[in-house]
Copies of this chain bind each other. A is one copy, B any other.
Amino acid sequence: MERLNYNRMAGKNLHRLEALADGVFAVAMTLLVLDLKVPAAEAIHSDAGLAAALLALTPKLVTYLMSFLTLGIFWLGQQAQLNLLERSNRDVVWTHIAFLASVCLIPFATALLSEFVEYRLALVFYWVVILLQGLLLALSWKLSRKAGLAKDGLPDGIDRAIYRRILVAQALYAAAAALCVFSNWASIAAIVLLQLNYALAPRIGRFALP
């Protein structure tokens, strides 16, 4: 089989993986909003009542925004890695499928956290999903390098930059999650600030990942 347009196939497979990932992220992003339930009409009799009901949705809106940031960050993180690959193999594809499985857990983890926003366990569960995503991205890069799937001409320090980036991000996530000892809201605020920082000032270290 290797004689058969191998490169074209390999590139095609990468394209398929990207298309699957874009689909999973798009659905996960949109499903987040399904958790924003429209208030029950029976209980509401005025604009003021509706305003109160919408204000009561604020915790859900905050967790919605946090999860949208989470999904955006990991969508970009996966994209940055896939951009550096020339082709893929089964191990790498399966690591990415496992990564997508953890991405699919984000809407559940978000709904859990917004329903039990005062419960430490809900916060820890959310953090475990983030940890899992980081671990799987790191594993996927390790497997890609081991199998020589990366493009030629990558700069020397690229591996260290990628691992450090994941490590630093996960250390900050863990620190933010640890704040739940004091209060879940402190954790959530720290995670949101951390992610806004990544979104608004994403350059870390010498390499500006694409």
CB within 8 Å of B: which residues of A?
Answer: 1, 3-6, 9-10, 12-13, 16, 18-20, 22-34, 36, 38-39, 41, 44, 47, 50-51, 54, 65, 68, 72, 75-76, 79, 83-84, 90-91, 93-94, 97, 100-101, 104-105, 107-108, 111-112, 115-116, 119-122, 125, 151, 153-155, 158, 199-200, 202, 207-210
Assess the B27–A27 pair: CB atoms within 8 A: yes
Contacts of A39 on B, CB cut-off 8 Å? 115
Assess the A1–B108 pair: CB atoms within 8 A: no
Q: What number of copies of this chain does the assembly contain?
A: 4
Assess the B16–A79 pair: CB atoms within 8 A: yes
Assess the B16–A119 pair: CB atoms within 8 A: no
Assess the A151–B4 pair: CB atoms within 8 A: yes
The 3 closest A-B pairs by CB, nearest first: A23-B26, A27-B30, A19-B22
Contacts of A12 on B, CB cut-off 8 Å? 83
Contacts of A199 on B, CB cut-off 8 Å? 90, 94, 97
Q: How far is the CA of A112 from the CA of B33 in the complex (A)?
A: 12
Show 16 A/B contacts (Cβ-Cβ < 8 Å), sorted by A: A3-B155, A4-B151, A13-B79, A13-B210, A16-B18, A24-B30, A27-B30, A29-B100, A38-B108, A44-B119, A47-B119, A50-B116, A50-B121, A72-B97, A75-B97, A97-B199
Assess the A20–B20 pair: CB atoms within 8 A: no
Assess the A9–B108 pair: CB atoms within 8 A: no
Q: How far is the CA of A190 from the CA of B120 in the complex (A)?
A: 35
Contacts of A122 on B, CB cut-off 8 Å? 50
Assess the B20–A111 pair: CB atoms within 8 A: no
Contact A47 B120, CB 8 Å, known A28-B30, A101-B29, A209-B1: yes
A29 partner, pick from B24, B36, B115, beta carbons under 8 A = B24
For residue A181, give the distance in angstroms from its CB to the closest CB of chain B: 12
Contacts of A111 on B, CB cut-off 8 Å? 38
Assess the A108–B151 pair: CB atoms within 8 A: no
Assess the B210–A1 pair: CB atoms within 8 A: yes
Assess the A29–B112 pair: CB atoms within 8 A: no
